[in-house]
């Protein structure tokens, strides 16, 4: 396919996303497809990325987890295979050329089914199995997304074709640079799948003082193996993982329930206000009272519309 044809197809996809995503976030009639749109860049926000394919159609984004960062745009898509708390923000967007993106949800079973039917090659396994990675957008993948977006305009087409197009998109992703990661998460007995079960437990119980010694058992691993594999998959320790979830909740309490910083920190499990302030600043870039004052000066609903809505 020529570069001109690629550019034409990308333009078609951008037009379709614009047409079907009039707001910051649109959950489409296709249950696994969410579209995003923003005419401005956003602040870094702490969010949880669930297992998804994230495809930028226009604009750019930066996400950061622990000490690693990923910058990507319309030339790459991101594969996330476990529940990850990370910091992210849109870095390129204007009213004339808004940030446009598509999010495709999948399950390990759906990936496993495509692997079984196509006998997809897992490729070379990296010595470090991360849960987040970038692959180049190919014309075949972009075309499958274009055809999926077209079905939004016809109920009969959508009901019949959307499931098949989802399988095609998974198939295309299984040919990309992150195929070994997708193979891992599709195997319920793999290290990545077992780690994800422990992460799901931590996410459900992050407000509790969960005994970390129980986590290896949830993953079906020995203690040293579990901690090593958790670091490989997420780049985080259990304490760091829980901390990000707690800080996200503390910010919500201060903004939307008018809790004072010390009270919000205590509510999510911090006993030391100074520790809460220090760790909050390490994630959000400023101490909690300054962050909240800045947002209230903008207007909480306005800030939410500009920044948070695009991550819903």
How far is CA 265 from its chain centroid? 25
Angle at 220 between CA 218 and CA 225, to 5 degrees: 110
**Among all chains, which residue has been given the structure tokens 């304490």?**
239
Q: What is the DSSP letter of 126?
A: P
**206 confidence band (pLDDT: 50, 70, 90):** confident
User: What is the mean pLDDT of the segment spanning 127-152?
Assistant: 86
| pLDDT of the residue at 128 | 45
User: What is the mean pLDDT of the segment spanning 204-231?
Assistant: 85
Residues contacting residue 36 through CB under 8 Å, at least 6 positions apart: 21, 24, 25, 26, 99, 100, 101, 102, 103, 310
Dist CA 170 CA 163 (whole Å): 11
| pLDDT of the residue at 125 | 57
| 138 C-beta neighbours (distance < 10 Å), count | 16
Indicate if the pLDDT at residue 94 is higher than 90.
Answer: yes
Indicate if the pLDDT at residue 307 is higher than 90.
Answer: no
User: What is the mean pLDDT of the segment spanning 48-77?
Assistant: 87
| pLDDT of the residue at 301 | 87
**90 confidence band (pLDDT: 50, 70, 90):** very high
**196 confidence band (pLDDT: 50, 70, 90):** confident
User: What is the mean pLDDT of the segment spanning 155-165?
Assistant: 96
Mean pLDDT check: name the lowest of 150-159, 165-174, 302-311.
Answer: 302-311
Round the average pLDDT of the chain to a whole number and report it.
88
Dist CA 81 CA 186 (whole Å): 9
Residues 242, 207: contact at Cβ < 8 Å? no
Indicate if the pLDDT at residue 230 is higher than 50.
Answer: yes
| pLDDT of the residue at 311 | 65
| pLDDT of the residue at 312 | 54
**231 confidence band (pLDDT: 50, 70, 90):** confident
Angle at 136 between CA 146 and CA 33, to 5 degrees: 40
Q: Identify which has the larger pLDDT, 17 or 205.
A: 17
User: What is the mean pLDDT of the segment spanning 278-302?
Assistant: 90
Closest CA to 252 of 240, 239, 267, 273: 267
Dist CA 23 CA 1 (whole Å): 33
User: What is the mean pLDDT of the segment spanning 216-223?
Assistant: 90
Percentage of the chain modeled with pLDDT above 90: 49
User: What is the mean pLDDT of the segment spanning 276-295?
Assistant: 91
**127 confidence band (pLDDT: 50, 70, 90):** very low
| pLDDT of the residue at 208 | 79
Q: Identify which has the larger pLDDT, 309 or 235.
A: 235
**At 76, which helix (H) or strand (E)?**
strand 76-80
Q: Identify which has the larger pLDDT, 49 or 238.
A: 238
User: What is the mean pLDDT of the segment spanning 179-185?
Assistant: 83
| pLDDT of the residue at 5 | 57
**Among all chains, which residue has been given the structure tokens 């870094």?**
44
Dist CA 80 CA 309 (whole Å): 20
């Amino acid at each position: 396919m020529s570069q001109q044809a690629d550019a034409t197809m990308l333009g078609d996809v951008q037009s379709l996303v614009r047409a079907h995503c009039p707001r910051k976030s649109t959950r489409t009639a296709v249950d696994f497809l969410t579209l995003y749109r923003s005419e401005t860049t956003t602040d870094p926000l702490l969010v949880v990325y669930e297992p998804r394919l994230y495809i930028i159609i226009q604009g750019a984004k930066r996400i950061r987890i622990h000490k690693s960062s990923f910058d990507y745009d319309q030339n790459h898509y991101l594969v996330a295979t476990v529940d990850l708390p990370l910091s992210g923000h849109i870095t390129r967007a204007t009213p004339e050329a808004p940030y446009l993106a598509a999010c495709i949800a999948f399950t390990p079973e759906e990936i496993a089914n495509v692997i079984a039917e196509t006998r997809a090659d897992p490729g070379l396994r990296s010595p470090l199995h991360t849960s987040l990675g970038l692959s180049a957008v190919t014309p075949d993948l972009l075309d499958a997304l274009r055809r999926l977006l077209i079905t939004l305009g016809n109920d009969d087409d959508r009901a019949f074709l959307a499931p098949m197009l989802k399988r095609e998109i998974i198939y295309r992703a299984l040919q990309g640079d992150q195929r070994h990661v997708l193979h891992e998460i599709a195997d319920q007995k793999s290290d990545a799948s077992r780690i994800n079960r422990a992460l799901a437990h931590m996410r459900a119980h992050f407000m509790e003082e969960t005994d970390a010694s129980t986590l290896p058992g949830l993953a079906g691993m020995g203690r040293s193996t579990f901690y090593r594999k958790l670091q490989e998959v997420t780049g985080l320790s259990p304490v760091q993982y829980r901390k990000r979830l707690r800080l996200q909740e503390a910010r919500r309490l201060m903004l939307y329930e008018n809790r004072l910083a010390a009270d919000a920190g205590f509510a999510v499990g911090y006993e030391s206000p100074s520790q809460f302030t220090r760790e909050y600043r390490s994630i959000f870039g400023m101490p909690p009272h300054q962050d909240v004052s800045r947002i209230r000066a903008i207007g909480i609903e306005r800030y939410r519309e500009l920044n948070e809505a695009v991550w819903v």
